[in-house]
Amino acid sequence: MSLRAIDSAPNGTPAPAPERNPGFDLDLGWLRAIRMNRSALERRGATIGKRRTVKKQWQAAWLLKAITLIDLTALNGDDTKGRIERLCAKARHPVRDDILAKLGAQNLPIRPGAVCVYHGFVPVAVAALKGSGIPVAAVSTGFPAGLSPLKTKIAEIEASVKAGAQEIDVVIERHFVLNGDWRGLYRQMKAFRAACGPAHLKTILAVGELATLNNVARASLVCMLAGADFIKTSTGKEKTNATLPVSLAMIRMIRWFEDETGVKIGYKPAGGISSAKTALEYMALVKEELGTEWLNPHLFRFGASSLLTDIERQLEHNAFGRYAADYRQPLV
């Protein structure tokens, strides 16, 4: 049984990384033209889980692919060096060997897209992942509130990059959006982009605190114009995090942005995505709205911690016909 994971390249080789977003001038006319129809987006989102599904070996292939799209995350107040090291060990070996062998997937390069940690644990994660090819992502800029002084935020980004982080997840100041201060948001994102240097910039919008889908869409555009390589829904700390309607608003701005500039921007839903079923819904949404090309870690990630556990349980069921207890696939 062939379970070659879905790949963007037609010959099955890993998809190449897209060109970095060079950034563009702020276009307030473009912002004013944005209109998001909430009811239409909610209706569209409601169809995904009902009409789009995969079963049996095809589901296993999609779930193996989903693992490669996860930013395996530890962003808790009680994180320790030992916990981060265990998380990185899981990243190196995300699925048990007997499961992969039963699925015929033992030779596939199954590993998460990145390991995401607080700035203070970047050196620990970099050391634990040395030689694996798995990048370290650091949350910066006063995560999760984003209200630290600008100089402090920039210094934190620069320190994370110096410590070995290859991706930086920054969080916007929500008041820029709520007050319609698009120039302020743009200037700050430009400063963050410059501080990142070679590291990829992933911008967290904290969508649950932006009030309207029009605000979500406009904030998405401003961050992309400022040079963001990814736009991300949430910190995972808000009351409302990733949802399918919000994802549609952001994804359609990504599509529009590519149509206008030729630049591909990545998308990262985060917060509350803990089941394999939900992950498949988001993958189906991205495939339908942006195309199969986006189903690779250069352009799509899940911000998640417990998601991997449920995916491994589903894979074990597919392989052996039984569900295992969570402790058989410990994360940390």
16-44 pLDDT, tens digit per residue, is 778 899 999 999 999 999 999 999 999 99
Query: Is 2 contained in some domain?
Result: no
Catalytic: which of 169, 202, 229, 264?
169
Query: Is 194 contained in some domain?
Result: yes
For residue 36, which of 246, 286, 255 has the smallest C-alpha distance? 246
The CATH code of the domain that includes 234 is 3.20.20.70
Query: Is 8 contained in some domain?
Result: no
DSSP state letters, 106-142: TTS----SEEEEEGGGHHHHHHHTTTT-PPEEEEESS
**Cα–Cα distance between 153 and 159 in angstroms, integer?**
10
**Cα–Cα distance between 284 and 287 in angstroms, integer?**
5
pLDDT at 8: 43
By residue range, what is the domain housing residue 223? Answer: 28-328
Query: Is 47 contained in some domain?
Result: yes
**Cα–Cα distance between 166 and 168 in angstroms, integer?**
7
pLDDT at 5: 42
Q: What is the pLDDT of residues 111-157, one digit of tens each?
A: 999 999 999 999 999 999 999 999 999 999 999 999 999 999 999 99
pLDDT at 182: 98
Catalytic: which of 202, 264, 268, 310?
268
Question: Does 268 qualify as catalytic in the annotation?
Answer: yes
Number of domains into which the chain is organized:
1
Query: Is 21 contained in some domain?
Result: no
Question: Does 277 qualify as catalytic in the annotation?
Answer: no
What single-letter amino acid sits at 274? Answer: S
pLDDT at 19: 86
pLDDT at 16: 75
Report the predicted TM-score, pTM, of the whole model to 2 decimal places: 0.92
Catalytic: which of 65, 90, 202, 232?
232
Query: Is 9 contained in some domain?
Result: no
Cα Rg, the chain, nearest whole Å: 19
- Ordered alpha helix ranges (H), the chain: 28-32, 38-51, 56-67, 81-92, 97-103, 122-128, 150-163, 174-178, 182-196, 213-225, 244-261, 276-290, 307-320
Q: In the numeric block, which tokens belong to residue 104?
A: 């015929």
pLDDT at 10: 41
Q: What are the per-10-residue average pLDDT scores of the chain (332 residues)?
A: 43 69 96 95 88 82 96 94 96 94 94 96 98 96 94 97 98 97 98 97 97 97 98 92 95 97 97 92 95 96 92 93 74 66
Query: Is 248 contained in some domain?
Result: yes
Q: Is there a contact between 235 and 201 (Cβ–Cβ < 8 Å)? A: no
Query: Is 20 contained in some domain?
Result: no
